[in-house]
Structures are given as structure tokens and as C-alpha cells.
Structure 1
Amino acid sequence: MLSTNIFAQRSMFIYRYFNLQSYSFESSAMNQRLIIIRNMGKTSSECHAILDRRREITHKQRLYAFKEYHRSSRSVNRIPSKEENLQPKQNSTSRQMHNSFSKEFRENALVALHQIPIDAKLHQKRSTLTLNELKVLEPFDLVKSLSKLSMNCKLAAAIRWTSTNNISPKNFLPNTLALNANVSFRLENASLRPPYYSAQRHLVTKSNPEESINSNDENSIKTNGNPPFRLPENNVMVNENITDKHVSDNNNNTTLSTTKSRNTPTDPIQIKVDNSSKIQHILQKYPNPKNTLHNFYQILSEELKDISLKCSPIYKSVLPKNKTSAWTCTYHIKWPMNYAIMATEKTKLRASTFAACKALEVLSEQGKITPEGLPLIYNKEEVKKIKKQRQSKVEFDKSTIQNMENIIQVFSNNMLPTINSTNFTDYKEQSDELVTGESSFLSNEPDFLGTAKYLAREKIILPISAYKEAFIELLLNNNCVIVKGEPGCGKSSRVPQYVLESWIRDETLSDNQLCRIAVTQPRRIAAISLANRVASERNEQVGHIVGYQVRLKSKFNPRTGRILYCTTGILMRQIQSDPHLKKFSHVVLDEAHERDVNTDILMNMLKIALKHNKSLKVIVMSATIDTASFSDYFDGAPILNVPGFSYPVKKFYLDEIESANLHPKTLKMCKSDNPEVVHEEVAALLKYIHKTRPEGAILVFLSGWEDLVKVQKCMFPSQDMVVHLLHSKLKDSDQYKIFSKPPPGIRKIILATNIAETSITIDDVVYVVDTGMHKDNIFDIKKGINVIDMEWISKASANQRAGRAGRCSPGESYHLYTKEKYEELADYSSPKILNSSLTRVVLESKVFSNNMNAGDFMNSLITPPEKAAVQKAVDDLKQLELLDDNEKLTPLGKTLVDFQLEPGLAKAMVNSVVFKCTTPIVDIITLFSSETDIFGSNSLTDKKSIKDLKSAYSKSSDHLALMRIFEKWLELNEEDPYSADRFCRNTNLVSHKLEFIDKLKNIHHGYLQNGLYDVLPLSDNFSDNDELVKAVLYSGTGTVLEHRNWDIVKNRLKTNVNVLVTRNNHKASIGQESVNFKRNRFPTNFMVYMNETRSNIRRTTIVRECSLIPAISVLLFNNKELEILEPDSEDTIGDNLVIIGIKNTKLEFLCDKEHASLLLECKRSIDLSYKYLIHQMTYTGGKNPEILQNWNKILEELNKILLRHRVA
């Protein structure tokens, strides 16, 4: 380190060089000099003469003064010069000038010189000063003239001199210097400490590393062999190594401190760069290390609001022993620790690059930088601390406290003795045999109509016709047969007839032997259309011998019917009341290759039923089935391979389509991993086919409803074509339009999803357009949410789609992906059981398997799901109290199995009976669980109109708004159906969908009436209390969105924002159709919702329906226990406050100590009363008038609490 004498010598030459009679400094602009000289009374011409002369003098003085200094001081930091032989002429002059310097000037020059190596970019131009101010600041002028001086350095010297001249720094300096807001703030608020407590950090030399400046005394700087250098006490610390971050919350008046400040000076950790392989690794990771490092600290300084954290390289020319010039680059970084990182290379560029790489390496090792080069400021503990400092606070007024005390008193005095004497686990002593009470519509034995009525009838010969006898032979000799039939072979329409004929031809059967055939289909339209087709072939009415049953729609006569086409879910519901399928003789499982959840579960149940019902026969059919695995699953069942017949189909891939030049976006998309339908290019291809190809219908496979609507809008208007949509959300009559024949000269175009891939045949389809993708709803086990993603189809699906074009004539298929992409596709689609939520499946499996262990049951499936997914489902059911600790169904669980709803929603319906608000809850659950959109076809595009309509019925709740719209329609429909139709037209509602909801609502009411003991009536005494309705809904779903007004984005804290977090701690967005979309004011921080969906397409979690609920509802109606948490040692929540947490969640609230204890006792009283009533309603059926009377009192007090906390 340089000694004090050397500093004094340097100060002397600085003084000599800069000519203090000049009231300007070298970096000032020309106009500034003119202004200063004019203030001295000079004319304009005199000013220019002075300036010209000043330039010459400055140049000469610079050359002489610095050379004289270097030779006299013999400094190792020698500056090379062309005039090497220049000798100082008066060595004594240095000493005389040194002695003539005032003590104050020497001290302040020393202070300033300690801080010279700072970012030159911070150099500020001096403002115009008066003559008196210039006289005061003459020494500061000298210091400021130094090039590359930092603002902190200038500020230090200025503070020293202003204090010497009795001028207040905070009043004078901001007007003198172009200080930023942060420096001004520190100037006014920093503690009175010396400005450069750690000046030694910037002075590192190689010549004498032992010499250093110590700062053991806060007000002194010691040098080796010299007395302490005292600094004035009344100074402000302006170059403090600040690592604190303070963020003020205007709402909560909370100050956040994420890192403790270091108030004591510390030496920087010196790191010298070696040319190692790590540098090359950093260069690969961060190709522009200097830019990355500067940007890193720029962002850091903005986030922590500390400009001193910015860093810039400091260069110094060195002359090593080998006489080869070199450059040393030093980076002084102050976060996360104080480092001085140096690199010496032949050029400035190499030195700065290596030093920057080393700095980035240090940041990477400490985990403070992202792969993108952004700072990681907040660790998990700091984020946790921020959350705790911003927790919601629950406050109760006197009336609410009185209501809670009344609830506790009523419960303790009148209900607790009875409840304590009740054994809630005595149901375990009952038989495990499950009886759902479901009465079957197939209870009667069908009438025998004569042999001729049961023979197969074939109007046309299909490929499977040649295998009729072989199939019947296999079926007569085996209980299970696997049929692999190629597309178009006729298996779906002919095999059920062959089964019927095999029964009538079986001579071993008795006369009263049952014959009833169930043929399962994965979709409603397939079941209905096939029943119609087969009945037509047999010249019969639908429902006579061949009929169908789908949800809320049936055409089947139990007295005469023999073949029942039904959805998979219908047969599974039958199994609940008839586990061994005694009401059926045969089951045909069609389209098994689709491998949906119900199909896999049904196969397992059929396998079990075959063991217990020896007269049952099972036929498994598919077009693209993995026959070996299915044969093995059914104990080596024989396989019948039926080749299909189809006319030749010519395939065109994207790189082979003549109009490929019209599809540049699609071609580019095929090369990416994220498939996406390019709607305008699909429409362009349809136009090309329509204009250039002979007549014939065009079938287009798209991924979903949104794509169907958008492609239709992109299509060209034409009078010689008609467009039909095929989607499950359309009513049946609209879906049947695809089978209609258009007039001559009119081309039919069908825009469909994969619903048209199997089971249905459209006779006049000649051309197929395959986009090659579909939307898949996948359950993410780790995140606990459904994820909608666009995925490529399998090769089997691609072939199925192409085969639709050759059913009735030669056809063509156009695939909007390349041949190369086709080869990359998977052979088959993965089973849905691997990607689905298993909560409802596990609950229903308890009925199917007679309370078998869930893991054992799932392992018996053809493709077992992950153990973690099964265990999560079991844990969720235990939390809902539907399974006990031994994984057996509770009485409530046995009741809810029959509800055909998600377990949480079914429980909310039962809770509505307990809390006496049945009708609104049943309406809400029916509306939001049916997956039926009651709005018109433009609901996807005109979401603002939907929001406006709902907002007219509720400003803060989608659930209440939709319920009131539905009830309005019910009211009008009962009074005047024409008024109801007019209401639908004016509000874009679909009447037939509302009628469907009305039928489904009655079924749900029936679940409550038939599934519960008559302990409590289905009452609506408190249905007018909106807060109670929302709270009961929350009691079943247990899902709540939490609002907060802060966020950490890319590790940067943002305030005054609206952020919503789901139960799984995922950030979410509210759908555009919600009444809470883009809400700015949140009277409460909580919103109940039913479903959340993660869209990988939009890269966001979306909640489409939600309702604001107060914090008191979250606390009292949560199905988990409350607990008072002990605050951490660093928590500063206040002496009278405690933290209330909801177990197994991240929800925490601040509350007064006394009120917290009262709240916990109140919730305990409500929970135990509720548990007793549920036990009576689902198990014993006993009524206790005294308990019911006191429960009414509790409900009255509870309703008063909720009304007082209602959300505006």
C-alpha cells in the first residue's frame, strides 16, 4: 500500500497540475467554462483567449507534473513515456509545495485518492456555480478533476469540505452535483459515520502486500508507521458496502429486510484469475461475460435500490520483469460478498474477459446467478419471510365474538354429552358386502319372440361375413374371444348379431337361459348411431330388439330387447348393483384400443366377473389392438383376425401435397416439438381440394372445439358447399347432420375431432384432412392438476383417420405433417389410466372389488398406474372422510359412491343438507360438473358478453351468477316457455342444454333423497345467505385461490400487483368469462373454485370460475384442522398476535391471541356437530330432536357471522 508521504506527494502534483485559479475542471464542457469565466467579469473574447491558453498550459503541466511525481516518488506504478530522460529540475520544489499545502487539503486529497478506481461512467458534470461557491469548492474542484472518479469519491470530498466550511451537505450537495435519488436519500438518512471506512479495499499493489491500511477505529484510518489519520465525526457514510434490501409496503406498512447489513468494514476477498478450464466452461455458458456481468449488477442495483452495486472494470498498465507490457483488470463486486477479482493479460480485452468470467464463476458456485445470467436474490428462506410478513389478518368485532361464544356455549351445554357417547367407528363391525340400493331397469326376463327374430340379418356382405361361422364356433367353446378387425370390416354392427344367433343355435342351453348382450361404446353418438344402423339392417324399430342407453337418454325395451348399445359408464354403473353381471349373458367391449379409464377398469371387472359367473361370455374388439397383451390378460383367450375391406386410399403428406407452398407455417411447425393447428392453412387446403378434386365429402380432423370454430371462420364463403361440425358438446340432432346427403353439386365438409376416428361411418366421405394432433387432458401427479396439452397422434390413429376416406369408394387423405414426422410418431396411444386423476376411480373400485386394497386392485389392471398416483387418491379420500385409516369405505363414502360425481362435489351436496341450503348447492354443482356449456357456439370467442351477462347477476361470484341465470330460466319456463326461449335468444343461452341441466339436477336431488336417511329435511332455510352457499361449496371442494399484492418474478420483488395462487401454490389466471377477470380491488384475499387447468399451449394455469369468500369462511369451513403455530425467532408479528394455520396447507393467518383460541373452539364445536349429523344421516338414521333444535341455534349464530363478513 502507498504510504501517507506518497499520498501527500501525489496531492502536491495534482495541485500543481490543475492550477487552482481555474474555476473549471478538465472534463467541463465549453459552454460551462464560458459561463464560469463570465461570472468573473470577463468578456466573450477574453473568455476564448483564456480557454485557448488554458489548453496549452494544461497539456504542458500534465506532462511535467506527472513525470516529476513518478521520478521523485520512485513509484512502481510508473507511467511509460516517450520522454524518458526528462528529469525534474527542482527536487526541493516538491518538498516546499508539500509543506505549503494545508493540512485539510492533504487529508481530503488522501481520502479522495483512496477511492480513485471507480466506474468512470458515474462521472458527473458540474453544474453552473456562483463565484462564492467556486471559492468554497476549490479543493473539491481539484479532486473532481481526476478522471474516472466515482460519484461516491466526489461526494466524500465534498462532504468533508462543506462540513469544514459550515455548509450543510444535504442542503448544498444535491444542488451542486447531479445526484440520483438513491444518493440523495443516503445523504439525508445515513448515520454519521466516516465516508470511507474501508478505503483500503481499492489499493492493492504487488510490491509490498504487507503494507495495508487498517480500520480498527471507525473514525480513523491507520497507516503503517504513521499516526492514525482522523476523519471528522460529522460525516455521512456514502460508500457503505450495502447488501440490505428494504421494501416498503404501503398497504401493510411493513419493511422487508432480506439480508443483514455489514456495519463493520471488511477487506475484499482477493481472487486472481488463472487461465483454467473453468474459464472456458464459463465462456460456453455465458458467451458475452462482460455484458452478462454488467447486466447482472445493473439489475441487482435496481432491485436493491443501491447504485453502488454496479460494477465496471478498472484497468492498470503494468510493466513486468520481462519488459513486456500488460494490463491488469480488476472487478470490485460487493454482492453477495466483497470481492476484488483481478486478471492480468497482454490486452485489456483479454484481461477484462477473464476477470468477468471469474466473477461469473464465483456467482455460479454460490448459486446466485441463473443460466440466463439473472441474479438470484431471494432464497427460499427469504421468500418464506416475505410471505410471513404479508399474511392475512383476521379481525373480529364484538358481535362476531359474541356469536362464536354463543356457538360454543350451545354446543358444550346441550350437544357435547350426546356426541361424546356416540361411537363413530361402529360401522366397522358391519358386513363388508356393499349394497348400493340401485334398482336395475333390467330386472325382468325378456320375452322370447321366436327363433327367426334372433338370426343375424345382413343386407350387404362385409369382410367379417366370411368369418361368421368361425366366430360362432370360438364363442361356443370359450368364455372370452378377442376380435381384431381392420377398419371397415363390420365388426361393430355384425358381431353383436352373430352373438345373438350363437345363443339361439346353442343346443346345450335351456329354454329359460338368459340372453341379453351389452355392447359398450366410448361415446354417446357411437352408441346411438350403431343402434340405429343395426335396427335398420334388421328392419326393426330402435328399442325393440336392438336399442341404446346413454346418459339421460334411452330407447330399449327390457321385455323384448336383446342387444343394448351403451356407453362404458352405463355398464359400469350397472356393475355397482350387479358386480357379477347376472343380468347379462354377453358383454362386447368395442373400441378397446382407445384405452380410456373406464375401458381399463371395465376389463378388470369383466375378468373378475368371468370367475364368478360361468355363464357370462366376453368379446373384446378393436381395430388396432395389441392382441397378444389382451389375450394374455384374459388367460390366453383365442384371437380372431378379420381383415378389413376398404377402397384404396392415396396418402399425401405435407411435403407431397401440390399446394404445399400454401403451408409454410405448418411446415415450420412440424419441425418443432409443440404442435399447433394453423387454421388459415387448413382452410387453404380445403379450398384447394374443393376447387381441384371431384365430388365427395371432406372429413377434417382437428384437435378441439376452438379449432373447429376458427377453421370454419377462415373458410371461404361459397354456395356450393355446406359445413357441419362434429363435437361432443353439440346436441344429438346437430351431430346427426353429418350423415345427411347434400343436394347434387353441393360438397359436404365435416370439421370433427377424433370422435369421428372410430365407430361411426360416414358413407360419402372421399377426402380426409388430418392435422395429426389432438388435445389431451393429462393429470399431473406432482402438481395435482389437469394439464391440457396439444400432442401428436399415434401411427395407429393416423391410419384410422386415413381409412375413413375409403369406406365406400376410393379416396385420398391429406396429412398436414411430413412423412418424416409420421415415422417419428408412437405406434399406439398410451393408456389414459396412466395420466388421469384416480380419486373417483379408487372410490368406485371399492364397490367393484368389495373394499379391496386400492393398490392391489390397480395392480390387477392390464396397465397398472403409478403407485404414487394411487396413494395420492387414497390420501385425498381419507381427507374427505370417505375412507377410514384402514382404507375401508366409511358410511359417507358408501353413500357418495352412488352419486356419480367427483367425491368433493358429492360431499358438498351432502353438506348442503346439513347447513340447510340444498337447492343453490345442487344447482351450482350440476351446472359446473356436467361439462355442458349452456351458452351458444360463440361462447369461446365472445367471452366478454358472457362476463357481462353474469356480472348482472353477481359481481363477485361466477357460481352464484350462473345459478341465478339458470333459476331465471326455470322460472320463465314454468310460466311461459315462449318467454324462456326469448330469454335464451337474448342472452345467447341454449335451451336444450338448460333442459339437460334441469334433468340432471333432478337426478342429483334424487341422490340426496334416496341416499340419505331422513334425519334432516332437504331444506333451504338459509339459501338466501350467499356467504353460506359459497362456504358450503368450499367445504366440499377444499380449493381456494389466494390473492396477494406482491410477487417475485425472475427473482425480483414486485409490489402493487395482483397475483393469484392455487391450493398447489401455482400462479393462476382467471378466465376471461369470469366476473372476477381483471379485478383490481380485492375486498378479501380468497376465492373458492372447483377446477384448475394447466394449459401448456398457453403456458398458464387457468381458473374459469371462482367466487370471493371471506377469510372467516376459509377458517370455519375447511375440512382440515386449525392449529396455532409458534412464530420463528425472526418473526416480528407483534406481542398480541399469533399465527393460525390450516393443517397440511400453506394457508396462514394473523390473529389476536384471545380471538385465535376462541376461533379454534368455535370450529371444533361446528365440526363435531357436523360429524354427528353425517353419522346419523349415512349410518344409523336416528333422529334426536334436542340435537336438531340446538343445531338450528348454531346455524343461526353462524349465519350472523357470515352475513357480517359478507363480501361486497
Structure 2
Amino acid sequence: MATSKSMFWKPDDTDLFTAERESQIEDQTTSLVFNANRSLNLVAQRKRLPIARYKTEILYCLENFQTLVIVGECGSGKSTQIPQFLYEHGWHSKGLIGITQPRRISAITLATRVSEEMGDVIGSGSVGVAVRFLSKCSGNTKIKYMTEGILLREILANPLLSQYSIIMIDEAHERSVLTDCVLGLLKKIAKKRSSFKIIISSATLDADLFSDFFNFKTKQSPKDTSMILTVEGRMYENPIFYLQEPCADYVRETVNTVIKIHSKEAPGDILAFLTGQEEVYQAINMLRDHMELLGLDETQLKVLPMHGSLTHHDQLRVFFHTPRSTRKVIIATNIAETSVTIPGIAYVVDCGFIKLKWYVAEHQMDMLIIVPASQACCRQRAGRAGRTKSGKVFRLFTEEHYNQLPIVKPPEMRRTDLSMTILSLKALGIDNILRFNFPSPPPAKNMLASIELLHAYGALDGEGQLNSPDGYMMAEMPLNPALSKMLLASCDLGCSDEILSIVAMMQVQQFFSRPNSGQGAINARRARRNFEVAEGDLITMLNVYNAFVSNGCTKEFCGQYHIMYRHLKRVVEIRNQLASIIVKQFKLKLVSCGTEIIKIQKAITAGLFPFAAYLHHSGSYRMVRGDCEVSIHPTSCLYTEKQPSWIVFAEVLHTTKLFVKDITVIDSRWLLELAPHYFDKSTARN
């Protein structure tokens, strides 16, 4: 690693009160003094944030322009302070102040922070939050944090968003499908409602693109309707270090770097970025092995995961203060990349890679591929340090490699399946999807492939209009069309109770623990065999869920069978929410098929039939549509078994070759029975 540079450390005056100090408060009087001091400390922090110097300019621009594009560096305070500026200036009297975030954890933590600064209780006071499967809002809510998916559903219910006076799209540089879809719809709303205001903000953003997109200037109305404002950023020093030579294994190098930081650097928590959940747990297991060899325990080095499949409570654990003698190490996916300020982070370790979805129109499927991160992504990661104290950033690649990285990653709209987007726009009454005004129009072949897939699912008719009722129900379900179709088909086949459990399990990426040590790995594999069946991974998931519930949802059961308790608890929460939607909103019945596994397999086939593959005489699998060669992933329960002739799968991972995951064994005749419009006898091969 590069030689350390000298630097000046600034005192950590933004984190004066730790959990350890709070625990020493013994009586109510001291507690009141503590809370008063804490409030004063929050006020002082707000005044020191760079964004505070731009309050007047922000309010002036909103009075004179319909759209304000704010480019603010990490740590400027834009995500927490701008909504409060608007509230203090009276914008809440004209309607709700809405702020969108690309991820649920960002929305929750920012709402919690703002409610704390305003002296409110989140949900019952002026600040509320709404994310998928969780809503804390009331009649008193004036500032509402939410994910972009929630805003899209609110547009479905109220196309002009008449309840909102202003919408702020935060972290717009992520350019997710939902971001671009929402921006296209907000442009339509802005043309209809001249009093409606839009703020677009990010630390790294192509400001001109969005300013031009929302500028409605014409010959008849020559006045600009959008404005760009740049805000200075970080409050603390944040030097960056590179490797002198490339590393062969970035997961192992991440672990080694964390150990070096702990042994050589000053106190401060560590945030390490990896590409996915499996790598996160691989690194955590390796770290714990190192800790055991070095004689370290959790009172010295506390290791925590952070990824999208964690329960709400487990995601929030990374924000809890630790004793002064304990260094916190957070191993995270890119969920921690934006809008999340984790207290105490002084060191960031960046692996330099990211996992992206990439849509292949010819095969009508998304592939997960691991690619080098963009420069914008690396800057965002670096911005997680130096927020509340001085820090350092360690990049596990050379400086020359960084200079060769793309400036930004391609917008998700141009590289992903658009089925859900098309369903949502169709439900809004937008008929000509190909001419819808997106900030970055998707490739026409991707759009046409998604329309064809929706027609195959029965969501769209021959004219491209939503079918009733299936099309409308699929548009309103918080699931992708394949899983929505699977649920609807299960209601007809009489196995909706089992399919609901499978769909909930599919929302969690991993539920079996995988110890690194030899004997631990053997024991975990033996435990897993108790649930595995010849019908495939999805039925195995159902067995795990049923066993967990029948054993009282206890930690003891999970420990015995090497199952991640927190993930199964999350599955239970998701299943309950989905059940409420199915029964209360759609008036469908949950019916169990008992031991009739074929009904479950047929329902799965009804949703995943476009992703069918057959065993080729060469020993590999070929997709029926497109004749693409795929292989069973090593984590599948079918990997070491006798290979079935026909399968369907739910996920593709592209590493050394195309691997398929979440597999179910099927009978080829079901494809002709359930999707005769999609297959014919000349296509199905025996």
C-alpha cells in the first residue's frame, strides 16, 4: 500500500455524546441537561454545514424558477437541511414537502435525523417516512421522506400529486429506472402545475442534462424555468491512498487492509465496500478468523454487515454508538454509498468494483455482472469518510486504474428490464411508451422485448393496453412481473399460500450461513441437506420457511441448522405485508395445496416460463428462448445432483460464465400447457 502522508487531525466535536456516556446519566435532571446540550449541539452542527451559507440563494431560486438543480459535494448537508429550510420558510403550508431516496435505509435514517433536529418524533410529528413494507406518517406529517417507488405509487393514485407543494429528488446521479421514470412524470406534472416545484440534488451529477430536461423555455415564453446551483462540500480532510500494484483478490485484500488499519491507525470506525451480499459474509468470516488468530474479540473490533436484505433493525445496528475502546467495522454493499452518514466513520476501504444488472433483450433477462466502478461511484464511497471527523480512504487499485475508469456508470434505464416501468406507465394511462420523455431514452429493443414479455404474461393485450384485472394487479404489486404472475397463477392452481412464502423468501438473497472453517463448512452443508429436495431451490426455500415457522421462529432452530435468523424474520415481515395486499387489496384467497408439489411447480413455471432451459447432449443447459448456454450455480441444491432434463430459473449471475440460480425442476409439457402462446412443439425439445 502507498506510503502514508502526514495530515492534520481535527477534533471530533460532532460526536460528543456516546452510548457509554449516556448510560451514566442517573437522574431526570441530568437527563434534561443532556438533552438540552444535545439539542444545542445539533443546532451548532447545522450552522457549520456548508449548505447553511446557501439558504437564501436556495429559497430565492425556488421563488423564481420551477426547477432547481443542486450540485453539492458529500457532507454539504443538502439531504437533511434543504427540507428544513423549506419548512421554516412556510412551504409546508402549500402542501407536503417530499424527498425521495434511492434506498429504504437512506430514507429511514435521514428522516430520523431530521426529526431529531426538529425535536419531533418520527411519524407522529412533522417528519414522516414511507418505504416498501414500512410507513410512519400521520396527519401531522409535513416533510415526507420516501423511496422513489413509493412516489411512483402515489402518482398512480394522484397523477398531479396535488397533495405536494415541492418534490426533492435526492441522489439523482444513481440514475435508477425509478429515478428516470419519476423525473419523466414530474416533468409532465410541472407543465400542468406551474406552482409545483422540483429540486434535483446529488453529489455527482450531470447538472446540464437535468437543467435542460426541465427547462420549458419557448419562443412564446423565453424565460428559463430551471436553475443550477453549486454548493461546496466536505467539512473535514479526507486524503486518498492507492495500491502501488494491482491486487489479485479484492475480498482478501479488503480484510488485510482492515486489519492493518486496526493495528496502525488512530481510533475511528471502518467502512469497507464490496459488491454483494455473498462477498460481505465471506469477508466477515475471514475477518473473524483473523481476529481469532490475533486474540481480538468484539470489545475491540465489532464487525457488522450492511446490505439490502437485512431486516430494518439489523440495518440500523450500524448506526449505534460503540464504547470508546471498540472499533466498529462495517462491511457493506453499495447500499451505504449514498445519503448515509454513519457516525464515527474515519476510514473507507473501496474494492473498486460494483455489481450491476445488465439486460439482454435477446434472452429477455437481467444478468448480474461485476464490473469496475465509475469515478463518480468511487467519489461517493470516499465521501462516507470525513463527514463527522477527519478520515482516510484506501482504494484497492492503482491511481492509474482510477484515471481509466468511466466518469459515470450507464443509467439503469439503458441496461435493465423495463417491464415494471412499462406496467406503471400504462397504469397511469400513458399509451405511447416508446415516445415517453425519459431523461435518457432506453434502447428501443429493450423496450420492445419488455412489452413482448408483458404480453406473454397476459398483462398487456394485443393492442398493448393493460388487461383487466391481471394487468392492473401486476402493476400495483410491489414485485417484478414474473413473481406477480406466479402469485396470480397460484390463486387459480390452489397453492397461493405456498407461493406467497416462496416469493417472500426470494426477496432475501441468502439465508444459509456459510462458515469458512473446514469443520464449520461441513456442518453447515449437512444441516442444509435436511431441507434440500430434488424439485429445486424454490421448494427448498419453502421447506426452510415452513420449518422455521413450525418451530416457533426461534433463534435456537436457526442456530441448529445454520440459518440466518435475522433474514428469516425479515421474510416473515415481507410475507405478512404481501398477504395483506393479496387479501385486502385484491380480494384474493390464500389457499394451501398441502403435499401436492406439482401444483407449486406449475405455479412457478407460470411465472418463470420465459427462463426455461433444457439439458443439452453436451452436458450443459441451453435456454429454450435464444439457445444461450447456462450452468447451474454452485450454491444451488441441484449442483451436485443428477441433472434434470428441464428447469426454470429466477436469476442469472455472470462471472466466469453464465450461472443460473433459484432453480426449479419442471416437466416440458407444462410449458405448452401454461404458455401455449409462447412455445410450440417445434420449440420444446425432449
Q: CA deviation at 1:896?
A: 1.9
Distance 1:483 1:1104, change over 3 A: same
* Residue from 539, 544, 548 that aligns with 2:129: 548
Q: CA deviation at 1:601?
A: 0.7
- Cα shift at 1:651: 2.2
Are 2:284 and 1:702 equivalent residues in the alignment? no
Q: Distance in 1 between matches of 2:259 and 2:493?
A: 60
1:752-763 map, 5 Å: 752-763=332-343
1:743 partner letter: P
Structure 2 equivalent of residue 607 of structure 1: 187
1:835 has 2:415 as partner: yes
8 Å contact kept, 1:581–1:613: no
Indicate the residue corresponding to 1:725 in structure 2. 305
Q: 1:1063 to 1:927 in 2, by over 3 A?
A: farther
TM-fit CA distance, 1:1037: 2.0
1:866 deviates by 0.4
The corresponding residue for 1:851 is: 430
Are residues 1:589 and 2:589 paired? no
The verdict on how the C-alpha distance between 1:1034 and 1:989 changes in structure 2, with shifts beyond 3 A counting, is: same
1:480 aligns with 2:70: no
Does residue 1033 in structure 1 map to residue 599 in structure 2? no
Q: Structure 1 residues 947, 631: closer, same or farther in 2, change over 3 A?
A: farther
Tell me by how many angstroms 1:958 deviates.
Answer: 2.7
Amino acid of the residue matched to residue 1077 of structure 1? Y
1:534 and 1:546 in contact (8 A); partners too: yes
Q: Name the counterpart of 1:872.
A: 449
Distance 2:478 2:383 in 1: 36
Cross-structure match for 1:683: 255
Partner of 1:890: 467
Partner of 2:642: 1080
| Change beyond 3 A, Cα 1:964–1:748 | closer
Distance in 2, Cα, partners of 1:779 & 1:759: 27
Aligned to 1:962: 541
- Among candidates 645, 648, 651, match of residue 1092 of structure 1: 651
Give the Cα–Cα distance (whole angstroms) in 2 for the partners of residues 958 and 871 of structure 1. 31
Per-residue CA distance 1:21-70 (angstroms, 9 max, x = gap): xxxxxxxxxxxxxxxxxxxxxxxxxxxxxxxxxxxxxxxxxxxxxxxxxx
| Counterpart pick for 1:1062 among 623, 630, 634 | 623
Asked if structure 1 preserves the Cα contact closer than 8 Å seen for 2:236 and 2:386, the reply is yes
Change (3 A) 1:934 1:811: closer
CA distance in 2 between counterparts of 1:901 and 1:549 reads 17
Contact 2:303 2:328 in 1 (8 A): yes
Contact 1:702 1:774 in 2 (8 A): yes
State the shift of 1:952 in Å: 4.2
Partner of 2:117: 537
One of 897, 907, 923 as aligned partner of 2:501: 923
For residue 918 of structure 1, report the CA deviation from its aligned partner: 2.4
Q: Distance in 1 between matches of 2:360 and 2:383?
A: 33
Q: Deviations over 1:844-879 (max 9, x none)?
A: 11123x13212112xx10000101101111111122
Quote the Cα distance in structure 1 between the aligned partners of 2:190 and 2:156.
16
**Residues 483 and 967 from structure 1, CA distance in 2 versus in 1: closer, same or farther, beyond 3 angstroms?**
same
Name the aligned partner's letter for residue 228 of structure 2. Answer: I
Residue 649 of structure 1: how far off its partner (Å) = 2.2
What is aligned with 1:648? 237
Checking the alignment, whether the CA contact within 8 Å between 2:176 and 2:413 is kept in structure 1 is yes
Paired letter, 2:622 = V
Deviations 1:228-268 (A, max 9, x none): xxxxxxxxxxxxxxxxxxxxxxxxxxxxxxxxxxxxxxxxx
Q: What secondary structure does 1:1037 align onto? A: helix
User: Residue 1087 of structure 1: CA displacement?
Assistant: 2.4
Q: Which amino acid aligns with 2:465?
A: K
Distance 1:961 1:653 in 2: 44
What is residue 802 of structure 1 aligned with on the other side? 382
**CA 1:1105/1:648 → structure 2, altered by over 3 Å: closer, same or farther?**
closer
Identity %: 27
The one-letter code sitting in structure 1 at the alignment partner of 2:195 is: S
The 8 Å contact of residues 943 and 1072 in structure 1, kept in 2 or not, is answered as: no
* Residues 1038 and 1119, structure 1, Cα contact 8 Å, conserved in 2: no
Relative distance call for 1:912 and 1:764 in structure 2 (3 A) is closer
Q: Which residue does the alignment assign to 1:933? A: 510
Q: Which residue of 1 aligns with 2:37?
A: none
Which position in structure 1 is the counterpart of 2:198?
Answer: 618
Instruction: Report the CA distance between 1:459 and its aligned residue.
Output: 4.8
Distance 1:540 1:956 in 2: 52
> 1:1081 Cα shift?
6.3
- 5+ residue gaps, structure 1, are 1-455, 506-512, 656-666, 670-675, 1048-1057, 1124-1139, 1150-1208
Distance in 1 of aligned mates of 2:537 and 2:274: 30
Q: What are the residue-to-residue correspondences of 1:1138-1153 with 2, within 5 Å?
A: 1140-1141=681-682, 1146-1148=683-685
Per-residue CA deviations over 1:163-202 (Å, capped at 9, x if unaligned) read xxxxxxxxxxxxxxxxxxxxxxxxxxxxxxxxxxxxxxxx
2:102 counterpart letter in structure 1: P
Deviation sequence 1:261-295 (CA, Å, 0-9, x none): xxxxxxxxxxxxxxxxxxxxxxxxxxxxxxxxxxx
**Conserved? CA contact 2:246–2:398, under 8 Å:** no
SS of alignment partner, residue 534 of structure 2: coil
Q: 1:938, CA displacement in angstroms?
A: 5.0
Contact kept? 2:351, 2:395, Cα under 8 Å: yes
User: 3-state SS of the aligned residue for 2:620?
Assistant: strand
* Equivalent position SS for 1:789: strand
Indicate conservation of the 8 Å contact 2:310/2:566, yes or no: no
Give the corresponding residue for 2:322.
Answer: 742
Match of 1:900 among 467, 471, 478: 478
Structure 2 CA distance for aligned equivalents of residues 866 and 798 of structure 1: 27
CA distance in 1, matches of 2:603, 2:286: 45
Residues of 2 paired with 1:1018 and 1:748: CA distance?
Answer: 44
Matches of 2:493 and 2:611, distance apart in 1: 20
Conservation of the 8 A alpha-carbon contact between 1:519 and 1:588: yes
Q: Which residue is equivalent to 1:236? A: none
User: Do the aligned residues in 2 keep the contact of 1:476 with 1:502 (CA within 8 Å)?
Assistant: no
Retained in 2: the 8 A contact 1:785–1:1094? no
Counterpart for residue 997 of structure 1 = 571
| SS of aligned partner of 1:585 | strand
Q: 1:482 to 1:457 in 2, by over 3 A?
A: farther
Q: What is the CA distance between 1:650 and its match in structure 2? A: 2.1
Give 3-state SS (helix, strand or coil) of 2:226's partner.
Answer: coil
Determine the C-alpha separation between the residues in 2 that align with 1:570 and 1:607: 18
Deviation at 1:755, TM superposition (A): 2.4
Residues 1166-1185 of structure 1, C-alpha deviations (whole Å, 9 max, x = no match):
xxxxxxxxxxxxxxxxxxxx
Which region of structure 1 is more displaced relative to structure 2, 900-909 or 1036-1045? Answer: 1036-1045
Sort the Cα spacing of 1:823 and 1:551 in 2 relative to 1 into closer, same or farther, 3 A.
same
SS in 1 for 2:547: helix
For 1:709, the aligned partner's letter is Y
CA distance in 1, matches of 2:355, 2:648: 27
Query: Contact (CA 8 Å) 1:1092, 1:1101: kept in 2 or not?
Result: no
- Cα RMSD for the two superposed structures: 2.8
Q: Does the Cα contact within 8 Å between 1:459 and 1:537 map onto a contact in 2?
A: no
CA distance in 2, matches of 1:981, 1:811: 38
Question: Partner residue of 1:280?
Answer: none
Q: Does 1:985 align with 2:559?
A: yes
- SS in structure 2 of the partner of residue 962 of structure 1: helix
> Structure 2 vs 1, CA of residues 677 and 631 (structure 1 numbering), >3 Å: closer, same or farther?
farther
List alignment gaps of at least 5 residues for structure 2. 1-41, 216-224
Question: Mapping of 1:308-347 within 5 angstroms?
Answer: none
State how far apart, in whole Å, the 1-side matches of 2:529 and 2:512 are.
12
Q: Measured at CA, do residues 553 and 458 of structure 1 come closer, stay the same or move farther in structure 2, by a change above 3 Å?
A: farther
Q: Which residue of 2 aligns with 1:1107?
A: 664
Taking structure 1 as reference, are residues 825 and 986 closer, same or farther at Cα in structure 2, changes over 3 Å only? same
